[in-house]
Amino acid sequence: MATLDISFKPERAHLRKPKRGLITERVVPQSVSGRYRRLKWIALVCCLAVYYVLPFIRWSRGPAQPDQAVLLDLERGRLYFFFIEIWPQEVYYLTGLLILATLVLIWLNAVAGRVWCGYFCPQTVWTDLFLLVERCIEGDRRERLKKQNAPLTARRVLEIGFKHATWLLIAMLTGGAFVLYFTDARKLLTDLAMGRASMLAYAWVGILTCTTYTLAGYAREQVCTWMCPWPRLQGAIWDPEALTVNYRDYRGEPRGSAKKATELKARGKPAGDCVDCMQCVTVCPIGIDIREGPNFACINCGLCVDACDTTMAKLGRPRGLIDYEAWSNIERGRAGEAPKRRVIRLKTISLAASIVALGGIMGASLSMRSDAKITVIHDRNPVAVRLSDGQTRNGYAVRLYNKADGERSFRLHVSGLEAASVDILGETGLLAVAPDTTRELRVLVTAPVNARQDIVFTATDAASGQAVMAQDVFIPVEGGQ
């Protein structure tokens, strides 16, 4: 049985000269090469390419329609994603997308822990990019640690200035790319460069520049450990069968140098493979020691695996002292039992089925939705009115939606009441609705009824015959009082 360590304390983190009132402890990770570092580079390039390129991809939607593939058009109240168009009244699709994303995260956690955090989280991606810039300008960990307490020289001032200028440029490009998703990217980019954009656009670019610069340049591991809510959920959803980064202590302990381990083995005494080189700690972007056991701060990036595998290869020992392994297998290894891979189990199958089911429902709903719609809202005050001839009149606010590219004309019909008359205030004949807009109508329904009855409003396209319906209720005077 294992529990996640929540008493997080970075190991061997460099401490600058203390400043009154400030927390100055920072993690300075060392570069590493290996299979998981290459996967992280691939993920970084793909994520950045999608983020920066996506606003410039075009998608033809017809005349008078925006041709940007991904666009959140606040002015028109539309969300465009390639062939999908979401109206404000269809916010339930966004709710479903958030639920789907949550299920995917939980499924990933059940399969491989915080692998999202280690490879695809924006904080991780931009932190890796900022660290790359820092290493290229100031050197690797050892050089940066030496320079932090060294006296300032002209070269050092240039390095610091160039680093921060590059960080600010990346942060500004990040903020600039974000606002491109809210209006035509090509036009806004030109306006931003020429100084013709609105103050709101410049304000958001400035805000996102500052947040990116601060979070990726300074906060870094503090965001992943303290600011993000996801680590706090690990105690509740941590799965011992998930393939998380773990240290095979039954193989690595007791620790000792390679020379000492050889002498101990020659005398028939136990000696572990871990030589206590601390490479797994120095490459960790969070600054933890994975050998101490599961830690909620670990983002499962696998860099410590690469570092340990490199050391093992140099010593001629098998890889995998630190590896993606289920904690249950660590416990089996301690007991001398064979490991069991249980990635496919009831939990992961159930979550995967839920993801497929929800995705299928949303996809089917999107594919079957109509480009016309009608909604009806019954008057609340008064609910019903008795006329002088004894009949009852109810009022309704009817809204017609035309999601097509051209103007459409509708006939409105009310069914479910005998001898009912329908009066559309200010309208006679066909009801014209402009393209990609809605139109609200005031409708009065009069009928000689004394009981509550369900009625159906039907709007029929005069050209195509397409009909859309909405159900409401007709309330007599007695039922409305």
User: Which contacts of 95-101 are long-range, i.e. CB under 8 A and separated by 24 or more positions?
Assistant: 96/358, 96/361, 96/362, 97/362, 99/358, 100/355, 100/358, 100/359, 100/362
Residues contacting 28, CB < 8 A, separation 6+: 13, 14, 141, 144, 145
Query: Taking a C-beta distance cutoff of 8 angstroms, is the pair 239, 110 a contact?
Result: yes
Q: What is the CA radius of gyration of the chain?
A: 32
Tens digits of residue pLDDT in 197-256: 899 999 999 999 999 999 999 999 889 888 888 887 877 788 889 999 999 999 988 888
Query: Taking a C-beta distance cutoff of 8 angstroms, is the pair 333, 251 a contact?
Result: yes
Low-confidence ranges of the chain (pLDDT < 50): 6-24, 479-481
Residues contacting 422, CB < 8 A, separation 6+: 412, 413, 414, 443, 444, 445
What pLDDT, on a 0 to 100 scale, did the predictor assign at position 24?
Answer: 42
pTM for this model (two decimals): 0.81
The CATH code belonging to domain 372-480 is 2.60.40.10
What pLDDT, on a 0 to 100 scale, did the predictor assign at position 229?
Answer: 85
What pLDDT, on a 0 to 100 scale, did the predictor assign at position 10?
Answer: 45
What pLDDT, on a 0 to 100 scale, did the predictor assign at position 17?
Answer: 35
Domain extent listing, the chain? 14-91+114-228, 372-480
